[in-house]
């Protein structure tokens, strides 16, 4: 018998396995993060940046949507500064903002401190109920508050009647319409801000409060000297976001007086900047003047953002 031998493959005879090159892998590692965030910037560029830049361009024209586009330079802005309706809308916007934002944030801060109490029963139920106003339709909210503030059959005027006080027509006066709109804004947003404050409160270690109690600090001193400084970044965020949202308020003034339309009353007593912009741009089809109002509103929002930067820088410096 003859013995058969199997040839043994040497190291030189083995075929090298195919592996991705280092250049290709490093390139993918560099490109992948940009590919992940690219959809956001693409969508923002189409629906955010382009309309903003286009608004600045249209503000320099006498822009007829179905007619000619005549370049007028800064004429729309000169007209804006001389228009009493613009200053009236600006005053209404800031008036509604102050009346609605300051009590709303104070109420949200107090409710958050109450919901953060360790011995509160049904705490999760009450915390979840804070989202109820936020998810409620604005139209439904306007309908309910319209009934509450109604001159003839409203709840508030019924209570005033029990006190022998004459009924108040809230929408007939400037301050009354501000109060009604501010009540709607407060109802819608106080729960959202309460949860933000509550999240900040739960991040504060309870050992700090225990140490303060041992040192003799009462509840009010703990709140003012521990809670408020610890919540300062959250407070700055809520104040700035409420400011930006208050400057752009549109739906509540529109729905509170539907028979008046975009003027929000015969005397424009509750017409905000957003309503005035919509009236001129899409009511009168004066796109150039409406864009000038939008640019003015944008500048006001930028000023609010700069105030945010100043407050944030000052807070970091204080630490």
Flag whether pLDDT at 32 surpasses 60.
yes
> Which pLDDT score, from 0 to 100, does residue 15 have?
52
User: Is the separation of the CB atoms in 226 and 218 below 8 Å?
Assistant: no
Cα(45)–Cα(39) distance, integer angstroms: 10
Going by pLDDT thresholds of 50, 70 and 90, the confidence category of residue 5 is low
The predicted-structure confidence for 207-234, as pLDDT tens digits, reads as follows 888 888 887 878 788 888 888 888 888 8
Mean pLDDT of 143-162: 88
> Which pLDDT score, from 0 to 100, does residue 66 have?
80
> Which pLDDT score, from 0 to 100, does residue 53 have?
92
* 148-157, 251-260, 299-308, range with greatest mean pLDDT: 148-157
Mean pLDDT of 33-62: 91
> Which pLDDT score, from 0 to 100, does residue 1 have?
44
Nearest to 108 by CA among 187, 222, 184, 191: 191
Nearest to 300 by CA among 39, 32, 94: 94
Mean pLDDT of 134-144: 87
Tell me 263's DSSP state.
G
Flag whether pLDDT at 86 surpasses 90.
yes
Domain boundaries, the chain: 22-58, 76-318
> Which pLDDT score, from 0 to 100, does residue 14 have?
53
User: Is the separation of the CB atoms in 257 and 264 below 8 Å?
Assistant: yes
Flag whether pLDDT at 25 surpasses 70.
no
Flag whether pLDDT at 245 surpasses 80.
yes
Cα(222)–Cα(219) distance, integer angstroms: 5
> Which pLDDT score, from 0 to 100, does residue 24 have?
65
Domain 76-318, what architecture? Orthogonal Bundle (1.10)
> Which pLDDT score, from 0 to 100, does residue 132 have?
86
Name residue 227's beta-bridge partners. none
> Which pLDDT score, from 0 to 100, does residue 35 have?
87
> Which pLDDT score, from 0 to 100, does residue 184 have?
92
Flag whether pLDDT at 141 surpasses 60.
yes
Flag whether pLDDT at 9 surpasses 80.
no
Q: How many CB atoms are closer than 10 A to CB 177?
A: 26
pTM reported for the whole predicted model? 0.80
Flag whether pLDDT at 20 surpasses 70.
no
Mean pLDDT value across the chain: 83
Cα(251)–Cα(260) distance, integer angstroms: 14
Flag whether pLDDT at 99 surpasses 70.
yes
User: Is the separation of the CB atoms in 76 and 82 below 8 Å?
Assistant: no
> Which pLDDT score, from 0 to 100, does residue 81 have?
92
Going by pLDDT thresholds of 50, 70 and 90, the confidence category of residue 80 is very high
Structure tokens at 11: 């190291």
Structure tokens at 121: 């029963």
User: To the nearest whole percent, how much of the chain has pLDDT over 90?
Assistant: 27
The predicted-structure confidence for 155-208, as pLDDT tens digits, reads as follows 999 998 888 888 888 888 889 899 999 999 999 888 899 999 998 888 888 888
């Amino acid at each position: 018998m003859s013995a058969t031998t199997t040839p043994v493959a040497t190291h030189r005879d083995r075929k090298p396995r195919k592996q991705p090159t280092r250049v290709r892998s490093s390139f993918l590692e560099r490109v992948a993060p940009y590919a992940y965030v690219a959809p956001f910037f693409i969508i923002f560029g189409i629906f955010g940046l382009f309309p903003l830049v286009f608004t600045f361009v249209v503000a320099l024209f006498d822009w007829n949507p179905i007619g000619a586009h005549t370049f007028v330079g800064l004429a729309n802005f000169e007209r804006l500064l001389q228009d009493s309706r613009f200053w009236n809308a600006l005053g209404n916007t800031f008036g509604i903002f102050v009346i609605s934002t300051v009590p709303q944030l104070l109420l949200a801060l107090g409710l958050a401190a109450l919901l953060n109490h360790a011995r509160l029963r049904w705490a999760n139920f009450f915390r979840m109920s804070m989202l109820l106003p936020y998810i409620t339709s604005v139209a439904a909210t306007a309908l309910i508050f319209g009934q509450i503030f109604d001159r003839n059959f409203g709840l508030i005027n019924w209570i005033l009647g029990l006190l022998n006080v004459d009924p108040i027509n809230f929408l007939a006066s400037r301050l009354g319409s501000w109060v009604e709109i501010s009540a709607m804004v407060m109802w819608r947003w106080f729960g959202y801000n309460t949860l933000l404050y509550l999240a900040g409160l739960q991040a504060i270690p309870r050992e700090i409060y225990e140490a303060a109690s041992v040192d003799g600090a009462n509840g009010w001193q703990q709140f003012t000297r521990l809670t408020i400084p610890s919540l300062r970044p959250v407070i700055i965020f809520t104040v700035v976001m409420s400011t930006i949202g208050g400057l752009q308020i549109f739906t509540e003034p529109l729905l509170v007086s539907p028979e008046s339309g975009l003027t929000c009353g015969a005397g424009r007593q509750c017409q905000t900047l957003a309503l005035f912009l919509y009236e001129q741009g899409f009511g009168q089809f004066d796109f150039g003047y409406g864009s000038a109002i939008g640019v003015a509103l944008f500048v006001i929002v930028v000023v609010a953002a700069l105030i945010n930067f100043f407050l944030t820088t000052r807070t970091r410096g204080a630490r």
